[in-house]
Amino acid sequence: MHKTVYIDHQEEITTVVEKIKKEAAPDIFLVIPKGAIFAHGIINLKILKREAEKIGKNIFIITDDEKVKKFAKKIEITIKDKQDIQTSDDFELKDSQYVKTINEHLPMDQSQKSLAYSIDEIITEREIGSKNFFDVAANTNTQNRDQKVKQVAKKIRKIPFKVKREMERKNKAKVFLAKGSFLDSDIQQLYKQEIGRKKQDELVKTRKAQEFFLQHDDQESRIESKKFNFKFLYYFVGIALALAAAGFIFVNFPKLKVRINLNHKELSTRIDLTVKNKIDQVGSKEVKGEIFEFEIEEKMQFKATSEGYSNDSGKARGEVKILNKFSSASQPLVAGTRILSKEGKLFRLTKNVTVPGMTGQSAGEISVEVIADRPGADFNLEPTTFTIEGFKGGPKYEKFEVFSSQTMTDGKESDDNQKTKIVSTEDIDKARVETLDHLKNDLEKHIQEHIPSDMIFFADSAEKEITEAKSLVEAGTPTEKFDFLVKQKIKIFAIEKASFFELLEKQIQAENNGNYQIIGQPDYVFEKFSNNFREGIMTLTVKVIVQTISFFDEENVKLGLDGKKQQEIIDTLENYPEIEKVEIFYSPSFMSFVPVSKNNIKFEISQ
Task: Tell me the average pLDDT of the chain.
Answer: 77
Residue of higher predicted confidence among 226 and 323: 323
- Contact partners, residue 374, CB within 8 Å, separation at least 6: 308, 309, 315, 346
For the chain, the distance separating the N- and C-terminal CA atoms, rounded to the nearest angstrom, is 110
Q: H or E element: which one contains 298?
A: strand 286-303
pLDDT computed for residue 209 by the predictor: 45
Pairing of strands 400-404, 315-324: antiparallel
pLDDT computed for residue 189 by the predictor: 53
Residue (of 44, 90, 92) closest to 67 by Cα position: 44
pLDDT computed for residue 222 by the predictor: 54
Over 70: is that where the pLDDT of 320 sits?
Answer: yes
Tell me the pLDDT tens digit for each residue of 27-39.
Answer: 889 888 887 887 7
CA 603 from chain center: how many Å? 37
- How far apart CA 423 and CA 401 sit, in angstroms, is 25
Residue pair 387/339 in contact by the 8 Å Cβ criterion:
yes
pLDDT computed for residue 7 by the predictor: 87
Tell me the pLDDT tens digit for each residue of 338-347.
Answer: 999 999 999 9
Tell me the pLDDT tens digit for each residue of 356-399.
Answer: 999 999 999 999 999 998 899 999 999 999 999 999 999 999 99
pLDDT computed for residue 111 by the predictor: 43
Mean per-residue pLDDT, 572-581: 81
Confidence of residue 579 (pLDDT cuts 50, 70, 90): confident
- How far apart CA 195 and CA 467 sit, in angstroms, is 126
**Above pLDDT 90, what percent of the chain?**
29
- Contact partners, residue 602, CB within 8 Å, separation at least 6: 255, 256, 257, 258
pLDDT computed for residue 25 by the predictor: 86
Confidence of residue 144 (pLDDT cuts 50, 70, 90): low
pLDDT computed for residue 138 by the predictor: 39
- How far apart CA 113 and CA 125 sit, in angstroms, is 19
- How far apart CA 338 and CA 328 sit, in angstroms, is 23
pLDDT computed for residue 121 by the predictor: 43
- How far apart CA 586 and CA 566 sit, in angstroms, is 9
Burial of residue 522 (number of CB atoms within 10 Å: 0-12, 13-18, 19+): buried
Tell me the pLDDT tens digit for each residue of 428-439.
Answer: 999 999 999 999
Tell me the pLDDT tens digit for each residue of 196-216.
Answer: 555 565 555 555 544 444 444
- How far apart CA 338 and CA 427 sit, in angstroms, is 12
Confidence of residue 14 (pLDDT cuts 50, 70, 90): confident
Over 60: is that where the pLDDT of 107 sits?
Answer: no
